[in-house]
Amino acid sequence: MADTTDTAHPIVRPPIAWAVAVLGGLALNWLMPLPFVPAAMPARWLGAVVFALALALFAWAIATMTRAGSNVPTSLPTTTIVDTGPYRFTRNPIYLGMVLGLIGLTIAFNSLWLLLTLVPFVLVIRYGVVAREEAYLERKFGDVYRRYRARVRRWL
């Protein structure tokens, strides 16, 4: 059983928010397709490349966090501030990977609906997850987190 007193208490688990955005966008695209990529553009290949890069960033971030001995799921306590690997460049590489993955799917499926679901997904992650995580990390790690936050940007 997870210790829920020592967590950020996000409003939703990020993978669930991502799945809802993807499934919602695909369902809307199935009901009423709204393509936006020019026909001459190799959308499937370009989208696949963006998605693969997003998946690589996502995997690198999770591996880095795991190697550092901290928990990845938001329902578990954070045990340390990780500032190596992709965390040297962005404080939220896992969420950035999710955003880029959704953009890759948007291009690959040539779906304006998927692009539109990106907006609520980003807002939920930014204000319902990241804001809560930042407040939690500052309470828990104090100056260590504040120095990290001053050194590394939230996104890019």
* For residues 7-21, average pLDDT: 97
Q: Is residue 84 part of a domain?
A: yes
Q: Is residue 6 part of a domain?
A: no
pLDDT at 94 over 80: yes
Q: Is residue 156 part of a domain?
A: no
pTM of the predicted protein model: 0.93
* For residues 94-117, average pLDDT: 97
pLDDT at 97: 98
Percent of the chain with pLDDT over 90: 92
pLDDT at 3: 53
Q: Which domain holds residue 85?
A: 14-35+45-151
Burial (CB count within 10 angstroms: exposed 0-12, middle 13-18, buried 19+), residue 20: middle
The answer to whether 49 and 107 are in contact (CB under 8 A) is no
pLDDT in tens, 17-60: 999 999 999 999 999 999 988 888 889 999 999 999 999 999 99
pLDDT at 4 over 90: no
pLDDT in tens, 68-87: 999 999 999 999 999 999 99
81 phi and psi angles, rounded to 5 deg: -85, 120
Q: Is residue 3 part of a domain?
A: no
How wide is the angle at C-alpha 92 spanned by C-alphas 119 and 106, nearest 5°? 35
- How many structural domains compose the chain? 1
